[in-house]
Structures are given as C-alpha cells and as structure tokens.
A and B are shown apart, each in its own frame.
Chain A
Amino acid sequence: MKKKRKIRPKDISSNQPVLSPVEPEDLCPLPDENAPRSFSPVKPEIRDKYDFSLDGFSALGLPIPKNKEEEEKIVKSFLRGLGKLFKKENNWAFLLPAVLSAEYCMRCNSCNEACPIYIESGRNDIYRPNFRPELLRRIYKRHFTPSGRLLGKLAGADVELNWRAVYRLAELAYRCTLCRRCVTVCSVGVDNALLSRELRKIFSQEMGISPEAVHRLGSVQHLKTGSSTGMSSAAFLNAIEFIEELIGEKTGRHIKIPVDKKNADIMLIHNAGEYIAWPENPAAFAILFDAAGINWTLSSEAMGYEGVNYGVWYDDVQFARVAVAQVRAAKKLGVKKIVVGECGHATKALITIADRLLVGDLAIPRESCLPLLESFVTGGVIKFDPSRNDFPVTLHDPCNIVRLMGIVSPQRNIIRHIVQPGKFREMPNAGVQNYCCGGGSGFAIMSSQNFAQWRNAVSCRMKARQVLEAFKDCLDPAIPKYYCAPCSNCKGAARDALQEYYGFKKKYNIIYGGLVELMVNAMPDLPKPYISWKDEF
C-alpha cells in the first residue's frame, strides 16, 4: 500500500478535487473478504453539479456554487452561524458543553483509536474524531478571537476559509455517527461528537443545509403529517389492523390492540418505521403486553404514534418541536407514563435529552421498554421456555440506550431467561464500549447520492466485524444465528449493510431482529415459532 500524505486541518481549503478519497484497498479487510470491493463511480454530470470534494462521497447533495457571489455567500453564512453558535440566546441548550469542548481539547489524539470509522477507513486522517472539531476551533479562533485575528497561525488559527472548506466541513459533520465512544476515552472529557452535532446545527439552523432524509423527509414531514414515514393517523389505524391479523396468523391469538385508550397506565410509542418495515416487532410488543395483562395503549393522534425525533441528530428547534408534540399527544390521553419501544435515539431523545425541556405539566414519566420487559421475565408474569431459542444469539448494544443511558443489564437478564444456556454470546467490546451499528445519527435512513455506499463500506464495517467475531465458532450456514438489535435504526443498518451489502444472511444464515421477537419466540404456549427463518429479514 502506498504511503499517503498526512492531511492536516489547514488542508481543508485546498483546491484538490477530492481532499482525501476513500479507496477500497485502504479499508480494513473483514476476515472473510478476499478482495476489496470497488465503489460505483459517480456519473460525470452529477459530479459536475454536486460537491464530492471531501472524500468522493456526498451525504448532503450540495450544489457547486456557480460564481464568486455564491461562493462568498456560503462563507459569510457559515461564519454568521458560527458566531451565533456561541451565544446563549441561540444555543442555551448546549452552550456549556460546546464552549468547553471547543476550548479544552489537548490535541492528544487519544480519541482516534476509539472511533470505528477512523479505524475501519484505514485510518483516513479526515475521519479522526478530533479533525472536524479542530476545524471549528481554528476557524472560530481566526474570525472571532483577538489572538486569532492578530496572530493568525501563530495563535493556532491557520485555516483559510473558502467555500470548499465550508462544504467539506458540512460533509464531514456527516461522517460521524455521534456514538460518543470517543468521549469515553478522553481524560479531559472533551466531546468531539457533540461538536460534530454543533456543526450540523450551524448548517441546518443557519444555512438550511441538512440531509434530505433527515430534515425535509424526516422531521419536517413528521411535524406535518404526524410521522417521519409520512404515515397519517388513518394509515396508522390500518397498520394496526394488519398487525392484529399478523398476530392471529402467527400465534392463533386474537388480540385487540388498544388505541387511544384514555387514562391507561402506559402509552407505548414505537419508531413508526416498525409498522412498515418490521410489523412483527410492534406485534410482539402487543402479544407480550396482552399476556402480561398491562393496562396500555397506543395513540393514533398525530405525533403520538411516532417515537422518532430526528432533531436530536442535527437541529435543536426541530428536536424541541417534536419532543413537545409527542408528550402533548400522551397528555391528551391522560396516560400515566410513556414507554418507548425498541428505538435507541427515540428513547434517549424523549427520556433523557428532553428532560430539561419539558416544563410544567409536560414533565410526565417516560421510560425505556427494557426494564418493563425485564419485569415480565423476572416477575414470572409470562412463562418462557429458553429451549425454543436453541440457536446462537448475539446482542447489539445501541449507543443511545447503552452508552448514553446506561441501560445494560435488563436486556441481558432477559436473554439469560429466554435463550437456551450456552447459546448467547457477547460480541467483542460489549456494553458501554460497544461500537455503533454504523447507521447512527441518521445514517441508516440516508441514501442520497452515493452516501449509502460509504455507510455500508465504512461506518457499518466495525459492526460486521463484531458480528463475525461473535459467531466465529458457528459460521456454518446450516446453523441459523440471530443478531439481536433492540433498535429500529440499528435494524435498518443491519438490513442494508449486514444483510444486503455484506450478505450475512446468504453466506452465514445470520438474521437480525429485535428483542421482543426473541421473547415471543420463547413463549411455550404458542403453536409455532414466532421467528420464521425462511420468510423474515
């Protein structure tokens, strides 16, 4: 492999067509990869129109400016946003961590080896977790501090700002999954992932730049129709009817799923993607809740049947709008608490982050589904027969639920009770040090331009490696294996990357699914297995 030139932060504004291309041969090969897989080339007419100058990929589809005026407008707008970021009127919610992380990084690079994207890319310089925050720091210093203005590079302010630098920085903000693994290794506590999100906020809140799937087709659509999927209330009710039929087919049980039940103990809120892509997941919840005799309901109110909050990835205003609307839907039903289904970012957004937003009577209890599900197992409310799950199982720890909320043991306790002894195996780095699925911070739903290729090949690669390692003793496709991912986005990444890109189902008979499906599969009074290996996934 030829030795590459080191890319330094100040190189961001260079005129190179592509600053640091991702070459297939640079990627860390998986144990089963014999030869690097090439990327599909971008059509020349697309390359001429949109910016691919960071690494040859585009998450944002940024149109190349046509003249000097447009170029200057991009730079000015970015600088305006950067200035606003450090004012409390604009950023009171994250001012303290943003200021601290911007000022106190010691440039020790300790965070580098914690980042799966940096490692799996073959240690591409621009993917260092501290690379993009360093750009923010140096640009801020140069344009907003006396020492930077007076001394320039002598004060560490050596980044020339041009439209290319701004565009590359925008793209670079979307080469981090915000998993925050890098923060866990920093002695000072600097949060470079937070600064990636702060950069995304400048682009979204000031410049109107954000991934289409996350903003226009995501949070905007969510607020307009009630769901990021575009699912209306009527469509949701249809989906519920379908799920009731599905339950009947799979279990022989006729369960009426409670919708809009007033004063229930629990309002369950799912990522609405489950209703469309994985209806067996909300169906499994309904089976378990019915068996446990829980007084629960779903909401058909717009915003009440959609748990996602894409704002948490890129925009504080959108985050606040969605969180408040979701809680209002629950208030309308008079439920005692909200329980969030198997969706990592939705759980963290509504339970933890929104905690400092929901004032007055909006502060109703909100919990993850995992401790409740654990109580079904440990309390003996539902009988489970672990021998029905007599196949190798490994567990993915969604960053938002595990590292960022500390929910580690309930899911493991459940698995101990529902999986045949000896069949469960942890993957390397399990628990709070686990690696992101590769689809975090919106990546799982972003596929514009050629971004999906990058996601599958680079950001999902570490998860593929972990899964292979977990099942290394039983890769024979004659043995069915279950990759349990209790998170919708993580399942989306598993579908697109592990199954389709890496071909794990075909090669090794590894399927993926949630935790509740595995629980229902272990219920001894069901006539047939809930997980049907041939049809699903």
Chain B
Amino acid sequence: MISLGWLIAGPFIYFAGAVFVCITAYKIIALLRMPRPFRWDLYPLPQRGPAGSKYQKLDFGKQKMPFYLLNELWEMAQEILVIKRLFANNPRLWLGSYSLHTGLYLGVLWVILLAAGAIVQINTAALNSAIFAGLFFLTTVVGAATLILGFIGSVYLLLRRYIDADLRAMSDAVSYLNLWLMIAMFGSALAAWLVADGSFSYLRNQIADLMLFKPTAPSHQLITLEFFFFGLFLMYLPFSRMLHFAAKYFFYHNIMWDDEAMTPGSKLEQERLKELAYRPQWTAPHIKANRSWLEQVEEEKKSK
C-alpha cells in the first residue's frame, strides 16, 4: 500500500542510493580524467622510505629507487583511521572529528552487518544458531557505537563552530548545513534505536524487504524519519565537500606523493604533447593570442 513511510523507505532510498553511486562515480571519473598536473610534491614521500626523497641522491635518475609500500600504507592508515595530521595540529577539533569519522566508518560496517543479517534472514530459517546470534549481537553493538559516536562527534563539531570565533568567522552556511544534516541523520537513528528498535531487527527487516525489491512501510515513524535523513544524506554527500573521503586519494597520490618522472616516449609524455597543443584563452598582453602552449614557448624563442 502506498504511504509516505513506504515512499521514503522504498523508492526514495533506492533513488538516493542510485544518486550516491552515480554522482560519486561521475565525480571520481572526472578527477581521473583530468590532465596529470605539473609536479607539486610535498616531502617526505612515504614510499621513498627513511630517505623520503630521491633528490637527495647523486645521479638519482640513473638509480632505481626502492619503493617502500609498507611505509606508504602505514602513513595512509594513520591518516584514514586516526586523522593523524588533525590530531597533531588541531587536537581540540580532532576530538569531534575523530568521533564523527569513527561513527561513519562503523556506520559502513553496520550497514554491511545489517545487510548480511538480512541475507541470512531471507535464506534460512535457522535463525537461532549461535553464529547468527553472534552476527545480530555484533550488529547491535556496532550500530549503537555508530550512532552514539556519530551523533556526539557532529554535535561537538557544530558547537565548536558556533563557539569558536575563529571557526565562526571562516564558516560558510554550508559548513553548518553539513553538520546539521549529520546531526539529523544520527539523531533520528539514535532516537529510533532507543525508542522503537533496540535490537535493530525492524531495520534488518526493512533492509531485507529492500533487497527483495518488496519495500514496506516502517512500523514506527522514527524509523521512517531515520530512512528519510539517511536517504537525504546519501543524495547530498557526493555534491558536497564531504566527498573528501574520495578526493583525499587524489590529493595524496596524484599530487603530494606523485613522484613519477616523465620519460621520453611514455604515456605521460604522449598526453602532455596533446595538452601542449591546447590554445589558452588568457588575454594578458604577454600572452600570444590564439597560439598553443607549445607556440607560446616557441614564439618567445623566435622573438629573441
């Protein structure tokens, strides 16, 4: 039966998921397709090991530089899991940020656990076995941690943004909107858990229905609200600066740590030749109108 609850927990969630996947993929592909930038590294590079830079070596171009994969992974793990730089440089804000990010990471795990539980629920009647009990228990623990940490983190960050005059001065409307949206998402889910769905079994049922493409209206309005804000967050995320979870990869690997030298005949050089043929539209007097980048350089040579 069509109801507002059904619309939100059914078509709306499908739509939100599709928007999230499509826009995120679109944005990542757009970043992947951008021209490889000029080198703009920042040192030390973790993949260069303890030395941190090939430029410290005489005739570095003739030497095969070792690649320290573990170093790079360790540096990434610290940044992803504990937000190392924020901890070191802005510990007060880190408290909230770490709580929120841990909530979000656990949230991903929680959704996976809920989905796994839903699959089990769909495929077997033996729900009382110890393994399934363990899975459901874990779902409850992870879910509770997700909601508590996510809510506390986003409230803390919002309060800091209101209280700290420096943060307030630099915040735009979107800075507040993002946090309010997360508070609404975590807050509604927290309320639903506390009031209506202590073991997340209703939520698991909803997810099982979604997986079977037979969505149903939630049994409680708070669960409907939870779905609404989750869907809204999913749709909004790829359009927002919160997509930094994906952008961060490019910041680190394609800019700060990108140490690849351009060698003659390489794919990179072929791409560069294409880009050098672009005609820049800049109009300052020292820029030759309607000439390619290559011609900008050649022109100068001829005029000498």
Contact = CB atoms under 8 A, between A and B. Distances in A.
B125 interface: no
B304 A353 contact: no
Given A184-B42, A187-B79, A407-B53, A100 B255 contact: yes
Nearest to B284: A208
Contacts of B262: 355-356, 358-359, 363
Contacts of B286: 208, 215, 220, 317-318
B250 A96 contact: yes
Contacts of A186: 85
A114 B283 CA distance: 36
A408 B57 CA distance: 11
A287 interface: no
A360 to B, nearest CB: 6
A507 B170 CA distance: 41
B51 A409 contact: yes
Given A93-B35, A205-B282, A318-B286, A128 B55 contact: no
Contact of A104 (B51, B247, B279): B247
Contacts of A78: none
Contacts of B37: 93-97, 356
Interface in A132-149: 134, 138
Contacts of B276: 359
B22 interface: no
A167 interface: no
B66 interface: no
Contacts of B85: 110, 184-187
Nearest to B164: A109
Residue in A84, A92, A100 whose Cβ sees the most chain B Cβ within 10 Å: A92
Interface residues of A, number: 100
B284 A89 contact: no
Contacts of A130: 170
B272 interface: yes
A190 interface: yes
Nearest to A90: B280
Given A95-B35, A100-B255, A407-B55, A6 B165 contact: yes
Contact of A204 (B52, B83, B284, B297): B284
B170 A206 contact: no
A204 to B, nearest CB: 6
B35 A88 contact: yes
Interface string A47-62: 0000000000000000
Nearest to B80: A187
Interface string B268-280: 1100110110111
Contacts of B59: 337, 365, 367
Contacts of A352: 39, 41, 55
B234 to A, nearest CB: 18
Given A103-B247, A156-B172, A302-B304, A404 B41 contact: yes
A324 interface: yes
A80 to B, nearest CB: 8
Interface string B144-169: 00000000000000000000011111
Nearest to B280: A90
The 6 closest A-B pairs by CB, nearest first: A406-B53, A189-B251, A406-B43, A156-B172, A205-B282, A92-B35
